[in-house]
A = this chain, B = another copy of it.
Amino acid sequence: MSALKGACIFGQSGGPTSVINASAYGVIHTALQNPNITRVLGAEHGIKGVLNDRLFDMGQEDPKELELLKYTPSSALGSCRYKMKDPDVDDTDYKRILEIFKKYDVRYFFYNGGNDSMDTCNKISKYMQKVGYECCVMGVPKTIDNDLFGTDHCPGFASAAKYIATSCMEVYQDARVYDTGMVCIIEIMGRHAGWLAGAAGLATAYGAGPDLIYLPEVDFDMDQFLADVDRIYKEKGNCMVAVSEGIHYADGTFVSEAKTSATDGFGHAQLGGLASLLANVVKERTGAKVRGIELSLLQRCGAHLASETDIEESYMSGKAAVENAVAGITDKMVGFERSYEGGKYVCKTKLLPLTDVANTEKKVPLEWINAAHNGVEKPFIDYVLPLIQGEPALPKEDSLPRFAKLKKVLAK
């Protein structure tokens, strides 16, 4: 297919990360320079911005501010959690998207997100094919959860992992200063996959991390958990535990479920409060002093601890999406392939069919979880370690972060 000429739309969707804007910069920066892309439009709040005709003209932004996106956490254009209906059931949204695409002569659509967002991206791609509207649709991966199918890892994961590992190492110092002992429970994001909770194992590998780590890939047993904690607490006088928010009993019930019944826009249960719940159980059962710490939003927006590798790879995934699209490729998501050259970690992009990645979750391999189901094995550490390397030169103003300030001029 020869290169299409027309405008592009870029949108961000789902939970943000520390480096999702680095991918945005990869797309926007590359697209602005490409002669086949006549105009670069940024959708406000992802696909909702397309539906509502709220598109920013990215060409009007100051290039220096755009470059600061590399170090600005969270979705700069705004995100959404919007589940697209099956077009065979209700094609209202799809007709509206087509209308907007035609209005702005959009020939390139880049969508930056995780599982659910790739589902959106896939549905739009297939609809455009079906109605015969020529448009290259590319998914740009993003998720701290690291659970996208077919890619070695996901942009955003490594920076969250580095935040988690570093914070665990610091809390480890603090949570054992008194001679009175303490059980400290750290709650980490990850609904169905334990990649982030497992990253706490990096801290342990470097001598200052959790004694116990519980992942959602295996069933949680409260009695076994209490026995584990009790044993370590008696042995060491302290115990540090990392738990994934998504840990569940054998019947599938989330351990945290009793705490909240709220749901997010995609219909998932909104988790949280698990750390204090477990801390209370431990306190009741063992009498130990306890502290529950929820890393909450901090772990996904802690750009000051971002991995330089992650920033560069995020940029690279955005850039690759544009370069492949203008080469005529469509209906794909950019993924990563890892290799080692002379022992040195190397990451290259590859392309995955959107159909394959939409709604498929990649979990931590069971052989990377220890036999007792309370920690991770060395292959997990070897997998994560190269991803968190490198300290970015963070732009600062009076020793505080200097984030990108966008004008967000609406396209006419």
Inter-chain contact A177/B391, CB cutoff 8 Å: no
Give the distance in Å from the alpha carbon of A119 to the alpha carbon of B219 in the complex: 50
9 contacts between A and B (CB under 8 A): A79-B177, A167-B298, A169-B401, A170-B298, A203-B400, A206-B398, A293-B296, A385-B398, A389-B398
A172, chain B: closest CB distance, angstroms: 9
Contacts of A174 in B (CB 8 A): 16, 73-74, 297, 300-301
Inter-chain contact A74/B166, CB cutoff 8 Å: no
Number of copies: 2
Q: A residues 185-210 with Cβ under 8 Å of B?
A: 202-203, 206-208
Q: A residues 297-325 with Cβ under 8 Å of B?
A: 297-298, 300-305, 307
> Which residue of chain B has the shortest Cβ distance to A389 in the bound complex?
B399
Inter-chain contact A391/B396, CB cutoff 8 Å: yes
Interface size on A, residues (CB 8 A): 65
A403 close to chain B: CB less than 8 A: yes
> Which residue of chain B has the shortest Cβ distance to A265 in the bound complex?
B180
A179 close to chain B: CB less than 8 A: yes
Interface of A toward B, CB cutoff 8 Å: 12, 16, 44-45, 48, 72-76, 78-81, 162, 165-167, 169-171, 173-175, 177-180, 184, 202-203, 206-208, 265, 272-273, 276, 291, 293-298, 300-305, 307, 385, 388-391, 396-401, 403, 405
Known: A75-B177, A399-B307. A294 touches B294 (CB 8 A): yes
Contacts of A304 in B (CB 8 A): 166, 170, 304-305
Query: Which of B79, B175, B184 interacts with A178 by CB under 8 Å?
Result: B79
Inter-chain contact A400/B165, CB cutoff 8 Å: yes
- 6 smallest CB-CB distances across A and B, nearest first, come from A74-B173, A174-B301, A79-B177, A170-B301, A74-B174, A45-B179
